[in-house]
Homo-oligomer: A and B are copies of this chain.
Amino acid sequence: MTDAPPQIRTAPPRRLARAALDDYALVYGRSVHALDAELGATPAPPGLIDLTHGDTRAFTPPASALEDYAAGLEENTEAYTPYRGSARVRALLAPRLAALAGVPVDADRELVITPGSQGGLFAALSALVEEGDGVVLPDPDYFANERIVSYLGGRPLRLPLEQDDDGMLGFAGEDLESVAAAEPAVILASNPNNPTGGVYSAQATEALAETARRSGAYVVADQLYCRLLYRDTKLTQIGALPGMAERTVTLVGPSKTESMSGFRVGAAVGPAGLIDAMEQVLSLASIRTAGYSQQAMRHWLAGDDEWLAERIADHEALRDKLLARFRAMPGVRVRPPAGSSYVFPDVSGTALSLRLAGEGGRPGDDHAVAVALKRAGVLVNPGYQFGHRGRGSFRINFSQDARRLDDALDVIERTLADAG
């Protein structure tokens, strides 16, 4: 033989290349993937305070979850559940999820237990998005959304968000008209919004629903944080609006409010045909949600009003302190979250940002700010991860030990002031 054997192909399949969001390079000079890799490789001092996720030791899972998990492991009858999840756990959850989402839920047909709400997000989008489909994505929104849509070959249609002084969310009518004109097949939104903690006003929710009805689109409502709402905030369940139950899948889970992320469990409720399709995706991607972990949900959403009120009050106190501290920092603008444990300050006017812009950075270069903060000892999520309108901001998860959060804020204040 004179021919050399063929080389192994090292270029990724199109789906992965798309998911790296290379088109962000037009704005940021590098793909999101490359920016993330640089932040990941940035060295940090000992004792880095990680504010990219909640601290499950500061806010622990409910005792009942640990007891239920132990009981399930002891019984050891649910290692192998149906792909859509344990019949027993679904029967327990269906009425509670119906109360939460404001729609009837058939435990056998309209409910699937998912590996976290992210597993539900991937399954729902995989079951809905045909290649080339337009998908409405608010800007900013959860960073995996655009990546999954792009992985699937969908066309992201960005809808710019506005947040008012009460933390409520809306958008300009002409922006909604613009994305509606692109004939979306799916409208996807987190509510409360990740990263801002904003909650859609009743009017904004109704406008999204009307767009879905007019476009023949499905709605994927990521309501992972819908139990952690501050003061009198009302969250309008989009799936409960007229004509919406047949076209809405609602994703929820105990990973955040209940600090149960380590179990990787969540649930999705929606029309039976879509739940069937989501189960098929799940059966390919990981067969089922871990059978033992599912058991930790036996008492989820069950008569925990007092526990929930206390958890909300604890987070509201942290939120208020955080807002006061950020408002005292020169050049920082911040909106109050109406729900969730996220805050998303815009730091593009700080001394650090202005110096970085002068040094050949770009105005409001949140990537460079996040790199500087990591070097100083605090890890945050830079705003570009959430969309183009995240520029100049960063996200903090304030579900933390209060003293550690204070320490982090000291570092942030010093670093943003460019005080070395």
Q: Assess the B285–A262 pair: CB atoms within 8 A.
A: no
> When each residue 147-164 of chain A gets 1 if its CB lies under 8 Å from chain B and 0 otherwise, what string results?
110011000000000000
Q: Taking CB as reference atom, which chain B residue is nearest A212? A: B8
Interface range for A:
35 or more
Q: Which of A113-121, A197-205, A299-307 lies at the interface? A: A113-121
- Which residues on the B side are within 8 Å of A263 (C-beta)? 290, 292-293
A288 within 8 A of B: yes
Q: Taking CB as reference atom, which chain B residue is nearest A70? A: B70
A9 within 8 A of B: yes
A330 within 8 A of B: no
Q: If A9-B185, A13-B129, A216-B7 touch, does A264 touch B283 (CB 8 Å cutoff)?
A: no
How far apart are A62's CB and chain B's nearest CB, in angstroms? 13
Most chain-B CB neighbours within 10 Å: which of A7, A8, A127, A218? A8
Within residues 73 to 92 of chain A, which ones have a CB less than 8 A from any CB in chain B? 73, 76-80
Instruction: Give A16 to B125 CA distance when docked, in angstroms.
Output: 12
Q: Assess the A5–B216 pair: CB atoms within 8 A.
A: yes
Q: Assess the A286–B284 pair: CB atoms within 8 A.
A: no
Q: If A57-B77, A77-B57, A216-B6 touch, does A264 touch B293 (CB 8 Å cutoff)?
A: yes
Residue among B56, B80, B217, B273 making CB contact with A261, cutoff 8 Å: B80
Q: Taking CB as reference atom, which chain B residue is nearest A11? A: B130
| Closest 6 pairs (CB-CB, A-B) | A6-B216, A79-B262, A264-B290, A115-B286, A262-B291, A262-B292
Within residues 201 to 234 of chain A, which ones have a CB less than 8 A from any CB in chain B? 213-218
* Copies of the chain in the assembly: 2
Q: Assess the A119–B285 pair: CB atoms within 8 A.
A: yes
Q: If A261-B291, A264-B293, A290-B293 touch, does A13 touch B76 (CB 8 Å cutoff)?
A: no
Q: Assess the A122–B57 pair: CB atoms within 8 A.
A: no
Q: Assess the B13–A284 pair: CB atoms within 8 A.
A: no
A246 within 8 A of B: yes
Q: Assess the A286–B286 pair: CB atoms within 8 A.
A: yes
Instruction: Give A151 to B151 CA distance when docked, in angstroms.
Output: 13
Instruction: Give A97 to B144 CA distance when docked, in angstroms.
Output: 31
- Which residues on the B side are within 8 Å of A13 (C-beta)? 126-131, 152
